[in-house]
Amino acid sequence: MGDELKVGLRMNRIQSVRRGALGMLLACGLTTAAADGPRRILILGDSMMRGPAHSFELEFSKREGVETRPFTSLGSGLARLDVVDWLGRIRQLVSTFNPDTAVMFIGANDLQPMRTNRGVIRPEDAGWEEEYARRVGEAMDLLGDGGGVRVYWLELPDMPNPEIQKSADIINPIFEREAAKREFATFYRTRPLLSRKVGTFSRYVHLPNGMPLKVRDTDGMHLNRNGSDLLARNLAATLWPMSSPAPE
């Protein structure tokens, strides 16, 4: 048998093995993107998540085999569990959807009195931060489901109103501290992405090409579609660092 024929037969065998392996992956519903990152993503939050939730769904769906489940509730938060029982809702969603990843964007409404077994605690009271941190920690633990679910807790961005900015500056460190206590949780910073200067509100950011991009809604507080899409793309790059999205 000639050398060229031997090489040709060998290449045919290699290609056959590769096709067989690829067929097995496709039969299992796996792609490189899905296998290398999350596949079942729970998306939760208050009004801050309403726009980003849609962008997250669209961006994440570019990875074959990825499923998402969004839940948002306007005017709610962990401070007023009597309005929306977030802890109960998280427990129910984790149980029924069985996520491997959760993304939470909440807290814009939370610097307010909280009802507890010891009575009402106000933001100026000594025990307010302790109680709020307890609720944040419980929410993270419920989302984490014993450490089996990766939790990304999003930082509140810089706000246009000094009072709301002060509120966010009180609440964000609580999120960060509670996430640091848990190996499965990540405090995901949004301010470097959504502000030209961290700590200072801005409606526009600059793209790498120098062009301005308006990222905030007309109220200044919430993200518009541009800001939501920008956040979604950056979070997706964190969730799937070694892969590219499927072509549109």
Indicate whether 170 pLDDT > 90: yes
Domains of the chain are 38-189 (3.40.50.1110)
Residue 245's pLDDT is 54
pLDDT of residue 36: 78
pLDDT tens-place string over residues 34-60: 447 999 999 999 999 999 999 999 999
Tens digit of each residue's pLDDT (9 = 90 or more) over 204-226: 999 989 999 999 999 999 999 99
**Statement: residue 6 has pLDDT above 90:** no
Name which residue leads in pLDDT, 11 or 70: 70
pTM confidence score:
0.84
Write the DSSP string, 130-197. Answer: HHHHHHHHHHHHHHHGGGTSEEEEEPPPP-SSHHHHHHHHHHHHHHHHHHHT-TTEEEE--HHHH-SB
CB environment 121-139: b (16+ within 10 A), e (fewer): beeeeeebbebbbebbbbb
